[in-house]
Amino acid sequence: MNAALTCTVTPDETLAVTLTGDWLLDAELPGIEPVIAQLQQTPAPAAVTFDTSGLGDWDTGLVSRLVSIRRCAEANGVSLDDDGLPDGARQLIALAFAVSEREGARRKARDIGVLEGIGEKTLRVVSRSRDLLAFVGELMLSFGRLFRGKATYLRSDLVQYIQEAGAEALPIVSLISFLIGMIFAFVGVMQLENFGAGIYTADLVAVAMVREMAPIMTAIIMAGRTGAAYAAQIGTMKVNEEVDALTTLGMDPVDFLVTPRVIALIVMLPMLTLYGSLMGILGGAFVGLSMLDVSLVQYATQTVNSVGLNSLLGGLFKSVVYGSLVAIAGCQQGLACGNSAMAVGESTTRAVVMGIVLIVVSASILTVIYINLGI
């Protein structure tokens, strides 16, 4: 039966509400606006009574509306007589009003103006940069403790981090470097052949890989792979209060969690870069040899002669810088994580974005420095 609601004001100033039919959550239910309107009139009725003799099945659909009516009645100082309601509904309403709303709990939505928004964002950037600098400072102190043999960490953890950031990254580094070497060789062959200088493709690939591409690509791979993992691991530990547990045992979370991870990346990224350079040169050679009319020996000699020790060391130094930046971004975001699943996701995202931005910015700076030094 369809639900219906009628309300009439009796001669003794009472608002009599009659409810009939099935009041179920998913059914088409009549609005309670007529009742609310009567309650808000001046003078307000003296009381509200209910007649539910014609009421069929009911559930939350009925009770939530009755709760709204009672709220409105209370706000307007109208007494509510619930004798006419079914027992169960009366109990539920009593239960709903048993705990009064905590003072000041409710929040008011606040409009933020454009200027205020810009200001807030700027202040956040400033405070984040300050956090990052403070973290670098803490890391330096931690390294100091490490060299004096005073830092607590697990040797086995360090070995595991080195394995995760090293050997286990080989497949992806191989694939990306090999393909990038091939792409460079393609571009080189197409352009240099025009001048009859196709053999210089070997120089182009080798120099580009060793000096710039291998360090930067490997670092970006590791920012997405390992930097993100660090942020997620440490962030989840923070959510589970594992970081607090370390602190209460008197162990510095930076010593225990961060320093070994930073060391692992600083040690392994140059090695991966070296390996990546080799894979890139192989990829280049594969394209170069199949498209150019040169012998393997010629190509190899050209490659070896093009890469000086300066280029090699310069590339490796870059990868040390990138490695520390990726590890710092990951660990700092992990330790700054909030305490929910959402926050872990945000930290991880920020760790990767920050890692890549730091890599690219420092790459530009280093390139300018190298040029001025003539490396």
- Binding string to another protein for residues 104 to 143, with x set by CB under 8 A, is what? -xxx-x----------------------------------
Helix axes 259-291, 170-192, angle to 10 degrees: 40
Calpha distance 159→264 (Å, rounded): 8
Report in angstroms how near the CB of residue 105 gets to another protein at its nearest: 4
Chain centroid to Cα 172, Å, comes to 23
Looking at 12, 43, 53, 101, which residue binds another protein (CB under 8 A)? 101
Looking at 22, 51, 59, 203, which residue binds another protein (CB under 8 A)? 59
CA distances from 156 to 36, 161, 261, 275 (A): 69, 9, 12, 25
Report in angstroms how near the CB of residue 109 gets to another protein at its nearest: 8
List phi, psi (to 5°) of 57: -70, 150
82 binds another protein (CB under 8 A): no
Please tell me the count of residues contacting another protein according to CB under 8 A.
33
Burial of residue 285, with CB atoms counted within 10 A of its CB: 0-12 exposed, 13-18 middle, 19 or more buried: buried
Kind plus residue range of the DSSP H or E element containing 143: helix 114-147
37 binds another protein (CB under 8 A): no
Report in angstroms how near the CB of residue 68 gets to another protein at its nearest: 5
Report in angstroms how near the CB of residue 176 gets to another protein at its nearest: 33
102 vs 155 by CB, closer to another protein: 102
Calpha distance 90→84 (Å, rounded): 9
349 binds another protein (CB under 8 A): no
Query: Of the listed pieces 44-52, 188-196, 251-259, 333-341, which binds another protein according to CB under 8 A?
Result: 333-341
Cβ contact 142:151 at 8 Å: yes
Complete edge-to-edge strand list for the sheet that includes strand 14-23 = 4-9, 14-23, 47-58, 79-81
Report in angstroms how near the CB of residue 69 gets to another protein at its nearest: 11
Looking at 47, 132, 179, 343, which residue binds another protein (CB under 8 A)? 343
Looking at 92, 219, 231, 358, which residue binds another protein (CB under 8 A)? 92
89 binds another protein (CB under 8 A): yes
Looking at 167, 341, 357, 365, which residue binds another protein (CB under 8 A)? 341
DSSP-derived secondary structure letter, 102: P
Looking at 16, 46, 47, 96, which residue binds another protein (CB under 8 A)? 96
97 binds another protein (CB under 8 A): yes
Q: How many CB atoms lie within 10 A of CB 308?
A: 12
Burial of residue 340, with CB atoms counted within 10 A of its CB: 0-12 exposed, 13-18 middle, 19 or more buried: exposed
Calpha distance 227→261 (Å, rounded): 10
172 binds another protein (CB under 8 A): no
Residues that bind another protein (CB under 8 A): 25-26, 59-61, 63-65, 67-68, 87-89, 91-92, 95-102, 105-107, 109, 338-343
